Amino acid sequence: MLTAWSKSTKVAALGAVIVVIIAGLLLLRPAVPANQTAPLNSAAQRYTQFVPLIGSARVVVATNPRSAVVAKARGLVELQTDGGQWVPISTGQTLSAGQHLRTQNLSSAALLFYDGSLAQLGPATEVAIEELNAQATGPRTILLAQLSGNTDHQVASSSDPASRYEVHTPNGTSRAKGTRFHVAISPALVTRVEVEEGIVVVINVNVTVQVTAGQVTTIGPGAPPTLPAFQITGEGIITQMDEVWRIGGLDFHTTDTTVIIGNPQLGDRVAVDGHLAPDGTRVADVIVLLSRASQNRFEFTGQVEAIGTDQWTVAGRTVAVSQTTQIEAGIAVGDLVKVEGVIKPDGTWLADSIRLMSETGLPFEFTGVVQQIGAANWTISGITIAVTETTEIEAGLQVGNLVKVEGHILPTGTWLADEIKHAPEFENRFEFIGIVQNMTPWTVSGVTFTTTQQTEIDAGIEIGDRVKVEGRLLPDGTWQAEEIRLLDEQPLTFEFSGQVTSINPWVVSGITFTVNSSTTIESGIEIGDQVRVTGIVQPAGSLLAQRIELVDEELGCTEIRVKVVAINGQQLVLSNGQTIELSDDVEIEGQLQISAVVIIRLCVRADGTVVIVSIIVIFTPLPTLTPVPPPPTGGGKVTICHYPGGDKNKGHTLSVGQSAVGAHLAHGDKLGPCDGGR
């Protein structure tokens, strides 16, 4: 959990601030249908992405207004009993007022209410249902207490002014009537409210601010809400770290309240969630490590030919070992192993780990949350893992622990663990080899995972093929693939990243390898570029590349939510003071106009070039209606401009009786003479 309050402290802390969420139908209207292309997920939104993990999605509904149902449960989701104990639950569990629900790390859940409203819980989140009467007609009442973590809310519209949808936090209450918003509580008990639809009125210590779609406000303990600011979200590589971080080629200022997760370092890829300061400065609120720098890494499989105290020979390749190299016990000359490590500046291959590869199964390793522990099977992040007397299990493991599992997928489809141990801090990677069972969505050896535009997928993959899948578990427990590689029957493979120092012959980070007519080489590679090389180890020990591709052509991409203040031809002037040029390559969704709130997606390439990819209009102001003056009283004539058939080019002035004025105005005529005295 993110906090360590006692129950009495939790209850006493609620309700200090009032955050009122008002449906945006009165002042703003959505400009893009909800089913259109979604923008890049923010660091906070990564906690609340929901897709089926294994098997088909189960359809569930709330049966009555006084109950809610767990529509989607991933990882370890628990319900508190009347006796105060926490018990695991699954999709379909019914809840009522007075009950507490919580998720553990790498876990998430969605609560569906009778009126169609939805509350989504991210990882390490606890929520209590205080009051519940979610009737579809009449006054709707849904009162939730969020004690920790992150939640997203999609509130069904209600025309009844007495309807209430409230989320109480230690620093406030969010009230909604037909809107979408996100609530996050930091370890320092700072509440953050992000609005996707509608208008938010935030009140605390007699200070009121109004937050529109695309904006964010924060509320500290006993403090007034901050002035609303437009949100920034993005992903990218860190190239500078100080008070100012450079992420994805853009500068982000950090403050004492910036939350940094995963101990990111230079060269790592991170997600950033932040806001624009009044002067246009980008401020990072949350920075989350996504993946470590991939340059100068290697991995390959092969037979052990020699074992020494400071170096091994595997498949003709000499690799150095050190006291920190993790070497699986029992490996002997002739065994098939997998070697992973780093290529040092002098060209030495230093092994981080050497693992024995089973000849009877396909290898896997992943980090997950323990859901169940049995004598023959464990359940870890939705995967049933078989254990035997030979499985090495670290002592003291319990339900709710984060663990790292290594093993093999047997020909029967069983996932058999070789080792289960506590996961290193912030570990969230997975890697396994399996058989493709489906591609929409991707399912390999029983595991369903998501892909993104950045996922690298080999061409020509078909159902039944053997592939290697690498990726990471998102904080909510989603399995997200970063690479899907087609494997042939040659078991001796390698993969590494580094800098090109020669092309004829090919040399990357001091490693010489060959290519042939079947090698796929990305166009435009030059000496000095960073590339990833994958291929096979040939019987004589030489390396044959199957694919050579550029690494990190883009430093990263960022999305900025901002208001348009002026349009000058192909130029947009934004509320943060920036002026951007529109080219034919920019994708525009929605109608650009002054005062529209837009999401601008831009990417920074490795050479520093900033490219605007798309602009999405998320809200536009409703037009101001000019009231029609009433006709004069009395029985005289009224002068109007009449447009025959609605044709504005044929307007002419008429005098009509007062009784006929209403009909003329209804057909598009207007009061007063036509322009020009016609």
Q: What is the maximal distance between C-alpha atoms in the chain? A: 112
Quote the pLDDT of residue 397.
95
CATH label of the domain that carries residue 23: 2.60.120.1440
For residue 539, which phi and psi values (nearest 5 degrees)?
A: -50, -35
Asked if the structure places residue 73 within a domain, the reply is yes
* 83 and 220 both lie in a single domain: yes
* 501 and 469 both lie in a single domain: no
How far, in Å, CA of 466 to CA of 455, rounded?
18
Quote the pLDDT of residue 344.
77
* 669 and 540 both lie in a single domain: no
Taking 50 as the threshold, does the pLDDT of residue 47 lie above it? no
Where does a domain end: 203, 227, 251?
Answer: 227
Residue 563: count of CB within 10 angstroms of its CB: 18
Each residue's pLDDT tens digit, 106-128: 899 999 999 999 999 999 999 99
Amino acid at 134: A
Asked if the structure places residue 265 within a domain, the reply is no
DSSP state of 310: S
Interior angle at CA 9, CA 8 and CA 11, nearest 5: 65
pLDDT averaged over every residue in the chain: 82
Residue 478: count of CB within 10 angstroms of its CB: 24
CB contact set of 623 (below 8 Å; sequence gap of 6+):
none
Find the mean pLDDT for residues 606-619: 83
DSSP state of 59: P
CB contact set of 506 (below 8 Å; sequence gap of 6+):
500, 512, 513, 514, 515, 545, 548
635 — pLDDT class (breaks 50, 70, 90): low
Where does a domain end: 531, 550, 569?
Answer: 550
Quote the pLDDT of residue 30.
33
Taking 80 as the threshold, does the pLDDT of residue 671 lie above it? no
Share of the chain above pLDDT 90, in %: 33
* 205 and 302 both lie in a single domain: no
Q: Which two tokens stand for residue 332?
A: 């002997």
Interior angle at CA 540, CA 537 and CA 541, nearest 5: 40
Residue 404: count of CB within 10 angstroms of its CB: 19
How far, in Å, CA of 209 to CA of 202, rounded?
5
**Which range (384-398, 464-478, 490-504) has the least confidence?**
490-504
Residue pair 139/131 in contact (Cβ under 8 Å)? The answer is no
How far, in Å, CA of 274 to CA of 398, rounded?
36
Amino acid at 60: V
Each residue's pLDDT tens digit, 372-381: 999 999 999 9
Asked if the structure places residue 246 within a domain, the reply is no
Q: Which two tokens stand for residue 4?
A: 């360590």
Each residue's pLDDT tens digit, 95-108: 999 999 999 998 99
* 542 and 452 both lie in a single domain: no
Asked if the structure places residue 446 within a domain, the reply is yes
Task: Find out whether the peptide bond into 505 is cis, omega within 30 degrees of 0.
Answer: yes
Taking 50 as the threshold, does the pLDDT of residue 401 lie above it? yes
CB contact set of 602 (below 8 Å; sequence gap of 6+):
557, 558, 559, 560, 610, 611, 612, 613
**667 or 36, greater pLDDT:** 667
Asked if the structure places residue 135 within a domain, the reply is yes
Quote the pLDDT of residue 674.
79
Give the side-chain half-sphere CA count within 13 A for 442.
Answer: 25
Each residue's pLDDT tens digit, 555-580: 788 889 888 999 988 889 988 888 88
Residue pair 601/613 in contact (Cβ under 8 Å)? The answer is yes
* 512 and 642 both lie in a single domain: no
411 — pLDDT class (breaks 50, 70, 90): confident
DSSP state of 42: P
* 87 and 129 both lie in a single domain: yes
Each residue's pLDDT tens digit, 185-210: 988 888 888 988 887 777 777 787 88
**73 or 1, greater pLDDT:** 73
Quote the pLDDT of residue 19.
47
CA distances from 86 to 185, 373, 489 (A): 22, 16, 48
Q: What is the DSSP pairing of strand 610-621 with strand 597-605?
A: antiparallel
Quote the pLDDT of residue 530.
83
Alpha-carbon dihedral 433, 436, 437, 443, rounded to 10 degrees: 70
Each residue's pLDDT tens digit, 342-352: 877 777 889 98
* 132 and 187 both lie in a single domain: yes
Asked if the structure places residue 609 within a domain, the reply is no
Which helix (DSSP H) or strand (DSSP E) does residue 7 occupy? helix 7-13
Taking 50 as the threshold, does the pLDDT of residue 53 lie above it? no
Quote the pLDDT of residue 143.
95
For CA atoms 586, 30, 230, 260, the dihedral sign is negative
In the block, tokens 């991210």 appear at 122
Asked if the structure places residue 598 within a domain, the reply is no
In the block, tokens 């609560």 appear at 111
CA distances from 648 to 505, 623, 642, 666, 674 (A): 75, 21, 9, 15, 10
* 47 and 132 both lie in a single domain: yes
Rg of the chain on CA atoms, in Å? 30
Q: Which two tokens stand for residue 304?
A: 């052990």
For CA atoms 575, 580, 582, 586, the dihedral sign is negative
For residue 671, which phi and psi values (nearest 5 degrees)?
A: -70, 150
Each residue's pLDDT tens digit, 482-519: 899 887 655 567 778 788 999 989 998 778 899 999 89
322 — pLDDT class (breaks 50, 70, 90): very high
Return the SS3 of 194: strand
Q: How many domains does the chain have?
A: 4
Q: Which two tokens stand for residue 349?
A: 């291959």
How far, in Å, CA of 452 to CA of 369, rounded?
23
How far, in Å, CA of 420 to CA of 424, rounded?
12
633 — pLDDT class (breaks 50, 70, 90): low
* 56 and 109 both lie in a single domain: yes
Q: What are the b/e assignments for 621-638, b being 16+ CB within 10 Å?
A: eeeeeeeeeebeeeeeeb
Each residue's pLDDT tens digit, 124-176: 999 999 999 999 999 999 999 999 999 999 989 888 989 888 888 888 777 77
CA end-to-end span of the chain: 76
38 — pLDDT class (breaks 50, 70, 90): very low
Quote the pLDDT of residue 33.
33
Find the mean pLDDT for residues 252-267: 87
DSSP state of 665: H
Residue 130: count of CB within 10 angstroms of its CB: 16
Partners of residue 429 on adjacent β-strands: 472
Nearest to 156 by CA among 127, 126, 177, 128: 177
State the burial class of residue 609 (Cβ atoms within 10 Å of its Cβ: 0-12, 13-18, 19+): exposed
Residue pair 266/260 in contact (Cβ under 8 Å)? The answer is no
Q: Which two tokens stand for residue 583?
A: 């080219």
Domain residues for 662? Answer: 637-677
Amino acid at 375: A
Nearest to 325 by CA among 349, 352, 301, 306: 352
Quote the pLDDT of residue 369.
92
In the block, tokens 């570990």 appear at 427
Taking 50 as the threshold, does the pLDDT of residue 536 lie above it? yes
* 120 and 162 both lie in a single domain: yes
* 476 and 539 both lie in a single domain: no
Asked if the structure places residue 260 within a domain, the reply is no
Find the mean pLDDT for residues 208-219: 86
